Structure 1
Amino acid sequence: MQLCGVCSEHVPKYRCPACRIRYCSVSCFKRHKDDDSCHPVKESDSASSSSTAVSSAAQPWTVEDVLDEDSHTDKVPLQKLQQLADSEALKGLLRNPHLRRLMMSVDSAEDKAKATKDAMQEPLFVEFADQCLKIIEPTEAEHDNDEF
């Protein structure tokens, strides 16, 4: 079990976007930023690592880096994420600049729950969400049709 890189007391839920140290709380993040120990990872840093011993900073982000402990119950399996990426229906919807602007506003919003609720008032966003759900959580009828 890994411990917080700042306080060494709790299980870390987050990762610093700059240096990728793992931390458990906002207070630990603030302490980390205030003590000048945060050194952003540069591409050249990972190139200087030996080919056999790759630093954790050079490793790609994982789902666990992004999700907190409570989010793991809603984690989408990688196979389903690949199905989302391969969906022609989703690709077609994502060609719409209005939908892309809506998604960017939700992503950059301070209150993501409110921004998502507001976006769900737009039929295009609802259509996108419905298409995603058809892939991630197909109904029995949709699942049966996929098998043929």
Structure 2
Amino acid sequence: MSPRRHIALVAHDNKKVELLQWAAFNRGTLARHQLYATGTTGTMLAYELGLPVTRFLSGPVGGDQQIGAKIAEGVIDVLVFFWDPLEPQPHDPDVRALLRLAAVWNIGVACNVTSADLMISSPLLSGFYQRVRPDFGDREWQPAEAG
């Protein structure tokens, strides 16, 4: 039996159609996994694919941070985030924080169609693959030194 991965799907406004087309093409594979998405992207995906999607707030009002929290909790395995590198985003700090958490917690990240195609077609997605989850247990809070 194939493992059920938890996949977050996020797209900036100029990339939503591209993500919807990619998701429709890969609907069969996505149907075997638990899907999460931010705001409008989640609504569009649920409607277009006819699949259940756990929806969070819109990215600019906290959805990016909600997905980031799920990454830190160990829930999300893969992040497919079609972000727009040519358009300034008013919530850019949230976007950077989300990508940072994905790197910190060592989850797979796809930022465009090519990387998403390679990730979703990998036999590791549906086969046995246990990502290495960092252990930050030795990083206890220390008071700042008086300067």
> Which structure dedicates a bigger proportion of its chain to strand?
2
TM over 0.5: no
Bigger RCO of structures 1 and 2 (CA < 8 A, at least 6 apart): 2
> Which structure dedicates a bigger proportion of its chain to helix?
1
> How would you bin the TM-score normalised by the shorter chain?
under 0.3
**TM-score, normalising length: structure 1:** 0.25
